[in-house]
Amino acid sequence: MAKQAVAAYQKCINPDCGAEFDCGQALFKCPNCGDLLDVLYNWDKIEVPDKLSDFRKRWARRDNRLDFSGVWRFRELLNFCKDKHKVTIGEGQTILQRNDAIAAYVDVKPACLYLQYEGLNPSGSFKDNGMSAAFSHAMVVGAKSCACASTGNTSASMSLYAHHCGLKSTVFIGSGLIAFGKLSQSMDYGAQTIQILGDFDDCMRQVQHVCSKLGMYLLNSLNPFRLEGQKTIMYRIMEQLGWEVPDWIVVPGGNLGNSSAFGKAFLELKELGLIERIPRIAIINATGAATLSDLVNNKRLLWNQGNVEQGVIDEYYADLTARGFSPHTCASAIEISRPVNLKKCLRTIEICRGVVRAVTDEEICDAKAIVGKYGLGCEPASAASIAGLKHLRAEGVIGADERIACVLTGHPLKDPNVTVDYHKQGQGQFSNQPAEVANDFDEIIKLVNRING
Ligand code: F0G
């Protein structure tokens, strides 16, 4: 497991192009055709362990920074740079919690539902998995400054890694669309915040131009190295299931980086002979930001071996523009209508026989309250996975005795406003309203007795 071969390259996902580039370049989109890039490996040059359980031996060497990292513990599976370039701040110390109470809520049998708490990462979301990998690539190319557009978590995570690596960082956010917990992090971590009078999709478009023009390193999930880090979320789920493959992965879908990374992770493991079967995936949109669901379920858009019907996407986006549509959901993290990883996500849907559903804000908030009450809590976007699972159970798409892992992408304190409003204003069936009482001892005793009684 010690070989230091760098056997990776970048390749355009468009089969008509297929251009290849070395990893010493920061490109983010194919310079020939503008399509997305993958990081691919010459596996015969990499000493990949014979079985996944070999990775567990690294638990005994947790004083080694790379063995401690929940990303780099799996380094042979994302072998694109030398050890000296690898960046870690201790990401990936996450847990997979079996949760029978939430299983009952979604109508799944006991011991079938598992929650992957990515909120336990250093910046409080799954993004840290991707940032440790992408910043390692930034070290390879000698980047001095970086930027991202964000609904909040990417910016929090990027800012944290940027100050760790000594890079200047700039964050582009839409007007009024970012949860305070997240905004406070990027300011605290020293990033320059720039608010654009527009939504996330506007920011995403602008940041790409800014990075190209000024030679800044782009840290959105367009960056294929970020997705390499996010593959490890799947490795850790299997690790905690004794290296068994679950039947279903359920994940919220925003810019579609996670879902894209997960499909790639499983395809590679299957090709390497490290797993025998690939799990199915369910990707969950919010109804107010349901581009993927619309394109897959209504327009029947398919990966089709990379020959995605671009015309269907163009027509869909042209209609959004004509209507002046801006996405809207209380799950602000996934308030995105032009997901940059759409095509890679379609590939995942093919690899993992995926399904897509959209859930309402009401369903998201109820599910979030249940994760708070019976689990460790999560932010609204994360709870879309639980709400989506409930749908898929009611439809019978997912069986009651199938083994399901829901990815809870962000920490509950990321967005306290949604939580407080839900409870205080009695917005949902699980609202837990605070009570008011006069500053009078007898009245207080009466109230507390009533509550306990
Ligand atoms: N959950 C949370 C908590 C997120 O922050 C995001 C994305 C998603 C889910 C969606 O993941 O993009 O991989 O489909 N947040 C980005 C950001 C867009 O800027 O923080 P995805």
Instruction: Find the helix or strand (DSSP H, E) in which 147 lies.
Output: strand 145-149
Pick the closest to residue 75 from 6, 139, 154 (CA basis): 6
Determine the length of the chain. Answer: 453
Among protein residues, the one with the nearest Cα to ligand 1's atom 4 is 333
**CB of 151 sitting under 6 A from ligand 1:** yes
**CB of 409 sitting under 6 A from ligand 1:** yes
| Residue 413: Cβ-neighbour burial (10 angstroms; 0-12, 13-18, 19+) | middle
Question: Look-up: residue for tokens 């609204």?
Answer: 380
Shortest-distance atom of ligand 1 to CA 256? 14
Q: Where in the chain is the domain with CATH 3.40.50.1100?
A: 95-121+226-422
- Asked if 352 contacts 266 with a C-beta cutoff of 8 angstroms, the reply is yes
8-12/20-22 β-pairing:
antiparallel
Q: How far apart are CA 276 and CA 47, in angstroms?
A: 20
**DSSP 3-state of 257:** helix
**CB of 252 sitting under 6 A from ligand 1:** yes
Q: How far apart are CA 205 and CA 175, in angstroms?
A: 15
**CB of 334 sitting under 6 A from ligand 1:** yes
Among protein residues, the one with the nearest Cα to ligand 1's atom 6 is 333
CA of 394 to the centre of ligand 1 (A): 26
Shortest-distance atom of ligand 1 to CA 251? 9
Shortest-distance atom of ligand 1 to CA 336? 18
Q: Give me the CATH code for the 95-121+226-422 domain, please.
A: 3.40.50.1100
Rg for the chain (alpha carbons), in Å?
A: 22
**CB of 381 sitting under 6 A from ligand 1:** yes
User: Which of 116, 153, 160 maximizes ligand 1 atoms within 8 Å of its Cβ, making it the mutation to test the pocket?
Assistant: 153
List, in sequence order, every beta strand (DSSP E) within 158-255: 168-174, 192-196, 217-218, 248-252
**CB of 159 sitting under 6 A from ligand 1:** no
Per-residue pLDDT of the chain (453 residues; tens, 9 = 90+): 444 456 999 999 999 999 999 999 999 899 999 999 999 999 999 999 999 999 988 988 989 999 999 999 999 999 999 999 999 999 999 999 999 999 999 999 999 999 999 999 999 999 999 999 999 999 999 999 999 999 999 999 999 999 999 999 999 999 877 899 999 999 999 999 999 999 999 999 999 999 999 999 999 999 999 999 999 999 999 999 999 999 999 999 999 999 999 999 999 999 999 999 999 999 999 999 999 999 999 999 999 999 999 999 999 999 999 999 999 999 999 999 999 999 999 999 999 999 999 999 999 999 999 999 999 999 999 999 999 999 999 999 999 999 999 999 999 999 999 999 999 999 999 999 999 999 999 999 999 999 998
**DSSP 3-state of 299:** coil
Strand order in the sheet with 37-41: 20-22, 8-12, 37-41
User: What percent of the chain clears pLDDT 90, i.e. is strictly above it?
Assistant: 96
Report the predicted TM-score, pTM, of the whole model to 2 decimal places.
0.97
